[in-house]
Chain A
Amino acid sequence: PPFLFVLCIMYSTFPGRYSDDDGEDIVDLDDNDFAEFEDMNDEQAAETETAPPPRASQTSQPEEDEDEDEATVELEDGQDGFEDSETQDQDMYSKYDREEFDGIEGIGDMAKPGHSMKDPLIIHTVPAHLQNSWESYYMEILMVTGLLVYIMNYIIGKNKNSRLAHAWFNSHRELLESNFALVGDDGTSKEAVSTGKLNQENEHIYNLWCSGRVCCEGMLIQLKFLKRQDLLNVLARMMRPVCDQVQIKVTLSDDDMDTFVFAVGTKKATAKLQKEMQDLSEFCGDKPKSGAKYGLPDSLAIVSEMGEVTDGVMDSKMVHYITNHADKIESIHFSDQFSGPKVMQEEGQPLKLPETKKSLLFTFNVPGMGNTSPKDMDSLLPLMNMGKQKADRNRARVEENFLKQTHAQRQEAAQTRREEKKRAEKERIMNEEDPERQRRLEEAAQRRDQKKIEKKQMKMKQIKVKAM
């Protein structure tokens, strides 16, 4: 009997090697060891992560509660095998030793204080990275999948935008080439040779610069597509549908356009333009007027400097064109004082007026609300034609009307500007030391003025002929 006792004590030290948690396990192990000398019913709920050395045993007894608890608590894989042997050991030993160790029960009792209390179950979770299962990394797998989806969308979106752009260009190429001497220029090559290609600024913006035509300095066409290459944008667009846009900006040479400011477009667009554009907010009335007054569909609104300007621009053909393509027009903005959107003013007033450029701006929506196909590009062709014709026509008409009435503010501004220029020139002339030089400069100035007057007269004559 003492010999066995010693053996048991020896065995109690073994599990120390297998345990992960120190304090509780040793106590538990002691309990388990001593449980061999006790009735099976008295065995308390125990949690183990350790295993006593495996002993060969065949018998298996009906499991008790604690054994089942052990089985459920057990999380580590390799430990299952030990469970059975342990219970079997206990059973065997308890059967074998019951009579022999009856007297020692008391000791066993003392050694296990609080044995009758059920110890609370403490579930030890194995750190997930020790488990060899990919499932625990599901968040990472989710992240990587998200990235792959993003990359796929980028490639698909980029290709679609590119296809749309080239389809547009192919269908409009002839029109452009018949109207402009230079089609496609990126500003980098030494000579002004048509590249015949779109200039890609972005994955969703394509530029095309055309130049070399009567009446305009150049025309910049910007194909502003939706950001199909950015997944966030795609998702945002599902909430709020937006269209691809074609923005055309025609810069006119200085003497080809008469002075007026005018815009027509969807109600939203005109309101926005009115607020943002420097020239519209300065020269035009407060609110855009509904287009219905001039025969346009109700969805469009007009912002203009004066009623006469509107009348001049909106001749019947114009109205006809616009009504037909009303769904494609986002905004049309003619201005001789175009200087871009309002710049935030600094503390002091700007010293000089911002540079102005005479320009016509068209913004067209590509129909299809985001699901455009290359076919839709062709429908924009007639609109382009309209634009060209209008440029010539408007000048004629409006010039006539406008000569009759002049805006007071504009006149003054123009007058002052001219006077400034003249004065500056005169000063220059005065400052010339050499009288000979002086005389020559004066003559040059005179000649220039003369030419200007002549030109104007010629134009008047041309207009009269055209009007007839």
Chain B
Amino acid sequence: MSFNNMADPRRQNKILRYKPPSTDTNPTLEDPTPDYMNLLGMIFSMCGLMLKLKWCAWIAVYCSFISFANSRSSEDTKQMMSSFMLSISAVVMSYLQNPQPMSPPW
């Protein structure tokens, strides 16, 4: 009974290297939030630019922030930065074209 406790359970020769779990086999395990938010951010910023809607542009900025907060460390920072820049440019362009402040919908 005590045989197990006394012996050192460590075995140097049995070491296996860490292999990050492949995402192809488990697509359901991944959190889709950062990808959705990225897409949503881009859509909103395009809407804001084309239709000159200020609130669209602001929502786009929020989306890109949320996407950044939820992102995995392995994710591409370029993608994140590009969506962020796009949303900021949407906000700036909306205000350049129409400096009036945003009116609340109510």
Q: Is A209 an interface residue (CB 8 A)?
A: yes
CB distance from A172 to the nearest CB of B (A): 16
Cα distance A185–B17 in the bound complex, in angstroms: 7
Q: Is the CB of A181 within 8 A of B74?
A: no
- Residues 185-207 of A, flagged 1 when their CB comes within 8 A of B and 0 if not, give 11100001000000111110000
Residues of B within 8 A of A388 (CB): 9
- A181 & B10 in contact (Cβ 8 Å cutoff): yes
A129 with B99: CB separation less than 8 A: yes
Given contacts A150-B62, A230-B66, contact A214 B14 (CB under 8 A): yes
Complex interface: chain B residues within 8 A of A213 (CB): 9-11, 14
Q: Which of B12, B18, B70 contacts A209 (CB 8 A)?
A: B18
Flag A143-187 by CB within 8 Å of B: 1 or 0 each. Answer: 100110011001000000000000000000000001111100111
Cβ of B19 within 8 Å of any chain A Cβ, yes or no, is yes
A392 CB–B CB distance under 8 Å: yes
A136 adjacent to chain B (CB < 8 Å): yes
Q: How far is the CA of A401 from the CA of B66 in the complex (A)?
A: 53
Residues of chain A within 8 A (CB-CB) of B1 are 466
Those of B59-93 within 8 Å (CB) of chain A: 61-62, 65-66, 69-74
Contact call A139/B102, Cβ cutoff below 8 A: yes
**For chain A, what secondary structure do more than half of its interface residues adopt (helix, strand, loop), or is it mixed?**
mixed
**B97 contacts A by Cβ under 8 Å:** no
Chain B nearest CB from A73 CB (Å) reads 22
A387: Cβ under 8 A from any B Cβ:
no
- Give chain B residues whose Cβ lies under 8 Å from the Cβ of A209: 18
Minimum CB distance partner of A344 in chain B: B28
Is the Cβ of A186 less than 8 Å from the Cβ of B28? no
User: CB-CB < 8 A to A211: which residues of B?
Assistant: 14-18
Task: A211 to B11: give the CA distance in the assembly, Å.
Answer: 9
The answer to whether A129 touches B12, judged by C-beta atoms less than 8 angstroms apart, is: no
Complex Cα distance, B18 from A408, in Å, reads 36
Taking a contact as CB atoms closer than 8 A, the residue among B19, B29, B70, B103 that contacts A341 in the complex is B29
Q: Which of A147, A178, A220, A232 contacts B61 (CB 8 A)?
A: A147
Contact B9 A179 (CB under 8 A): yes
Given contacts A129-B101, A150-B65, A392-B4, contact A182 B15 (CB under 8 A): yes
A416 to chain B, nearest CB (A): 24
B15 & A147 in contact (Cβ 8 Å cutoff): no
Contact across chains for B103 and A187 when beta carbons are under 8 A apart: no
A178 vs B6: C-alpha distance when bound (angstroms)? 12
CA distance A199 to B12 in the complex (A): 21
Bound state CA distance, A231 and B69, in angstroms?
A: 9
Whole-angstrom distance from the CB of A174 to the nearest CB of chain B?
Answer: 13
Q: Is A54 an interface residue (CB 8 A)?
A: no
B58 within 8 A of A: yes
**How far is B74's CA from A179's CA once the two chains are assembled, in angstroms?**
30
What residues of B have a CB within 8 angstroms of the CB of A200 in the complex? 73
Check if A3 is an interface residue, CB within 8 A of chain B. no
Cβ of A212 and Cβ of B12 under 8 Å apart? Answer: yes
CB distance from B33 to the nearest CB of A (A): 8
A128 touching B100 by the CB < 8 A rule? yes
B11 engages A214 (CB within 8 Å): yes
A154 to B64, CA, bound (A): 13
Judge whether A340 is part of the interface by a CB distance below 8 angstroms: yes
| Given A201-B73, A202-B73, also A214-B9 (CB < 8 A) | yes
Q: Which residues of B contact A202 (CB under 8 A)?
A: 71-73
Minimum CB–CB distance for B12 against chain A, Å:
5
B68: min CB distance to chain A, Å: 8
Cβ distance A366 to chain B, nearest Cβ, rounded Å:
19
A232-B66 in contact (CB<8A)? yes
B10 and A187: CB pair below 8 A? no
Q: Which of A147, A187, A203 contacts B17 (CB 8 A)?
A: A187
What residues of A have a CB within 8 angstroms of the CB of B25 in the complex? 340, 343
Those of B6-47 within 8 Å (CB) of chain A: 9-20, 25-26, 28-29
Asked if A140 meets B101 with Cβ closer than 8 Å, knowing A179-B10, A187-B18, A211-B14, the reply is: yes
Taking a contact as CB atoms under 8 Å apart, the answer to whether B14 and A230 are in contact is no
Task: Tell me the smallest distance from the CB of B94 to a CB of chain A, in Å.
Answer: 11
Taking CB atoms, residues of chain A closer than 8 Å to B17 are 185, 187, 192, 211
- With A129-B101, A147-B62, A227-B70 already in contact, the answer to whether A187 and B19 are too (CB < 8 A) is yes
- In the complex, the chain B residue whose C-beta lies closest to that of A188 is B18
A201→B74 contact, CB < 8 A: yes
A-B pairs with the 5 shortest C-beta distances? A209-B18, A187-B18, A212-B15, A139-B102, A185-B18
Question: Which residues in B have some Cβ–Cβ distance to A below 8 Å?
Answer: 1, 3-4, 9-20, 25-26, 28-29, 58, 61-62, 65-66, 69-74, 99-104
Q: Give 17 pairs: A residue, B residue, CB < 8 Å, sorted on A.
A: A127-B100, A129-B100, A136-B101, A179-B10, A181-B10, A186-B18, A187-B17, A187-B19, A211-B17, A212-B15, A220-B18, A231-B69, A341-B28, A343-B25, A392-B4, A466-B1, A466-B3
